[in-house]
Structure 1
Amino acid sequence: MPYLSETITAEGWGLSDMSQISDPAGAGRWLQDPVHRAGLLENAHRQLRFFDRTLRDDGGFDVMNHDGTPLPRAGQELHYTTRMVHAYVLGRAIGHPGADRMIDAGMAFLWTRHRDAEHGGYLWSVDETGVHDGLKLAYGHAFVLLAASSAKLAGHPEADRLMADVAEVLDRHYWDEAAGLHREEFARDWQPVSTYRGMNANMHSAEAMLAAFEATGEAHWLERAGRVLEVFTDRMPRANGWRVPEHYTEDWQVDPDYAGDPMFRPAGTTPGHSLELARLLLQHWDLSGRPVGDVPDRARRLVETALTDAWRVDGGLAYTLKPGGEVDIGDRYWWPVTEGIGALASLLKLEDRDRDETWYRRLWRFADARLIDRERGGWYPELDDDGAPEGRQFRGKPDIYHALQAELYPLAPGLSRQVEGLGAL
């Protein structure tokens, strides 16, 4: 498949003045605008070229500084390895050169380095000496399932082995059948380390189970994803002003006073997760045959509440909110913007509404002006109060996963089977 990047130059895309990604020439909707679509594809290739350099001789992946040089190693985390596999399956779908090499490396690293041959399951972080952090998180295991499912869609020969292994671990240690949700965390030898329960790990488990259903057709993945999504896109938001509490006690009661790791478990609610949940809810509904019900309305309530609460007057989305919707942490990260783009693209594919189009354009304009590194590739993950790249919370450019999905999912023909659909671009 010929790359659009071969025929569309940076000047032709308008990278220097944002004119193409944020203001396509046509007067129609951006999802159908050929210049906007070509710009998204070109930026996806630019990102992939940047992250190509992360692969090390030992098969691991470095985290890259803003300028594309490797940062000092501090242990390779499970979610980084797995997301690289998923991202390069998307890259493979658009014909990115060398994608198979990256997928192969990530799959091998998961099986030989992250997989705990002694106790089972997957280690959170590994380094040259072996185990860097032996914690076993539902969050990380969800991404192992996502990587295996994506690799299976790409026809990788080791995907079935990885999927069977992580599915057994999830079922044995994490799945709480009575609650219809996943438990959170264990020590390396599977001793409980806390009674904490979290929304974030369950949201990503739903994402992974939807991918597993798409890869295998096995209905139990769809059923379990639906149970998780019912809690966090219906029961909890209805009781909390269409915001989604992040933190819970062992018996799944909201824990409003909890505050943990500022990156993964900040206090309050996280509007970016509401946007992500809305997209996953629509994906599940689509894979379920679009049954009659209120799913599109619920997705819209989640999206509109999050955007209204979190949009800052100087652009970008605040990271966290207090329970009533007041901004708590106003820091601006890249990933809530990417999830807003994905959610709005899904809504626009269902129904042509001016308000959704306005928000879709607003988020892309902000991303193009402040987050996308048009010279070197990748997105800056964090901004200071003046809108310049910052590094308080994130080292370098730690992630391709969120931004690549924002660039490619709007191009997919529907709400689901995105990896397969991208092959028609």
Structure 2
Amino acid sequence: MTAWTDRAGHRGWLWDESLRLLEFGRRAVPAGQGAGWLDDDGTVDPDRPVFTWITGRTAHVYALGHLLGVPGCRPVAERAIAALRTSLHDDEHGGWYASIAPDGTLDTTKSAYAHAFVVLAASTGTVAQLDGARALLDDALAVLDARFWEPAAGLSADEWDRTWTTLETYRGVNANMHTVEALLAAGDATGDARWHQRAATIAGHVVAWAGANGWRIPEHFDASWAPQLELNADRPDDPFKPYGATVGHGLEWARLLLTVDAALPGAPDETLVAAAVALYDRAVADGWAVDGAPGFVYTTDWAGAPVVRTRMHWVAAEAIGAAAALHRVTGDERYAGDYSRWWDYASEFLVDHDRGSWHHELDASNVPSADVWPGKPDLYHAFQATLLPLLPLAPGLAVAVRDELG
């Protein structure tokens, strides 16, 4: 049977879904502000802060929309880029604030997670030739390199105070995962291969940790990069630092490892391919429908038993991208079967066919809930799920869309 990704009908459906998502989020960036947190109808929630990470994601998505030729996307992306250069930027000390509250109060934390999304936004904006994007990229890469990169560890630190005086002892894989994504995009945008190589260095550490831990990725570390496996056992559904193994990150890393491999010169690295397969297989075995209902649980313990059974939309989106990538690399038809199964699940339970976008969170019975992610904050995961199956692993999304490589 022809894989869905090769069928004109499915490719058309993906295009329609990408357009539907772009329409939903069109109001995300009011003039003079960063991107807001979207509610269930795509309206900015005035009671929530403007976050740098959401603004970066929004700039990335709408810059891709502009590259795709969708009218109205460029102004949205450029307003987000402008906010990253002005209101969200710390002109005194450099770097980016975490957020701006509705009353104007700044969260002055400087986090690698947020800075990675600034690099991603600026990289995609540079490829799309958006106003101010290249200057933003140069600034963001300099900050990421000087403030967060730990050369001895070959990894990124996590969080500073505003003045770059105090570095938190916590180290995390989540920020490093998005740093890998951002560095791959930066290498594409600048033509500087050292950013691709740095992404590969980070990925190599994660492969080693996961391989030594049954392919369940340790997420949390201390300042010496010793795993802290019991961190947040008392609040396991933390949106950024949950306890245990995060199923969606196993899927996301599986795709990223294949992307890193494709971005590097030379023949495929079978070690990275094998690791991608192992991470994917572990995540599916631990996470999919393990409690009798379809969907991926959010987290498991270190033996693979479910801890938080909530279904997050981003996990299914990453499963889609990982299955498509693995099918492209290996040719194994089981990934094509998984790919169609994950999309069937998303369409039935996650895609909001009435009000737009995707439900960001479902309970264990696949009913929309809002315990961790109320509303529909942003489009990043869902939108990428509509593009990744159509494009090569390298170059990344922005260059592949620009050069019409799909």
Give 1:398's aligned residue.
377
| SS of corresponding position for 1:72 | coil
Which among 236, 250, 275 is matched to residue 298 of structure 1? 275
| SS of corresponding position for 2:100 | strand
Residue identity matched to 1:264: F
Task: Determine if the alignment matches structure 1 residue 94 to structure 2 residue 64.
Answer: no
Which among 175, 192, 197 is matched to residue 149 of structure 2? 175
Q: How does 1:41-120 map to 2 (within 5 A)?
A: 41-120=15-94
Q: Cα offset for 1:402? A: 0.4
Please tell me whether the aligned partners of residues 206 and 229 of structure 1 are also in contact (alpha carbons under 8 angstroms). Answer: yes
Give 1:279's aligned residue.
255
CA distance in structure 1 between the aligned counterparts of 2:245 and 2:43, rounded to whole angstroms: 34
Greater displacement, 148-157 / 76-85: 148-157
CA distance in structure 1 between the aligned counterparts of 2:142 and 2:29, rounded to whole angstroms: 29
Unaligned regions of 5+ residues in structure 2, if any?
A: none
CA distance in structure 2 between the aligned counterparts of 1:287 and 1:256, rounded to whole angstroms: 31
Instruction: Note the alpha carbon deviations across 1:354-401, whole angstroms, 9 max, x for none.
Output: 211221111101100000012232110001233121111112101200
CA distance in structure 1 between the aligned counterparts of 2:118 and 2:181, rounded to whole angstroms: 11
Task: Determine if the alignment matches structure 1 residue 236 to structure 2 residue 213.
Answer: no
Please tell me whether the aligned partners of residues 113 and 130 of structure 1 are also in contact (alpha carbons under 8 angstroms). Answer: no
Give 1:194's aligned residue.
168
CA distance in structure 2 between the aligned counterparts of 1:149 and 1:69, rounded to whole angstroms: 27
Which among 311, 322, 329 is matched to residue 343 of structure 1? 322
Instruction: Note the alpha carbon deviations across 1:301-358, whole angstroms, 9 max, x for none.
Output: 1111101110123111111111121111111000010011101111111232221122
Task: Determine if the alignment matches structure 1 residue 318 to structure 2 residue 292.
Answer: no
CA distance in structure 2 between the aligned counterparts of 1:406 and 1:388, rounded to whole angstroms: 22
CA distance in structure 2 between the aligned counterparts of 1:53 and 1:155, rounded to whole angstroms: 22
Q: How well do the aligned residues superpose, as a CA RMSD in angstroms? A: 1.6
Task: Determine if the alignment matches structure 1 residue 209 to structure 2 residue 188.
Answer: no
| SS of corresponding position for 1:252 | coil
Residue identity matched to 1:278: A
Give 2:198's aligned residue.
224
Task: Determine if the alignment matches structure 1 residue 334 to structure 2 residue 307.
Answer: no
Unaligned regions of 5+ residues in structure 1, if any?
A: 1-26
CA distance in structure 2 between the aligned counterparts of 1:291 and 1:409, rounded to whole angstroms: 19
CA distance in structure 1 between the aligned counterparts of 2:312 and 2:185, rounded to whole angstroms: 26
Residue identity matched to 1:420: V
Residue identity matched to 1:350: V
1:175/1:154 Cα in 2 relative to 1: closer, same or farther (>3 Å)?
same
Please tell me whether the aligned partners of residues 412 and 418 of structure 1 are also in contact (alpha carbons under 8 angstroms). Answer: yes
Give 2:109's aligned residue.
135
Alignment length (residue pairs): 398
Please tell me whether the aligned partners of residues 142 and 201 of structure 1 are also in contact (alpha carbons under 8 angstroms). Answer: yes
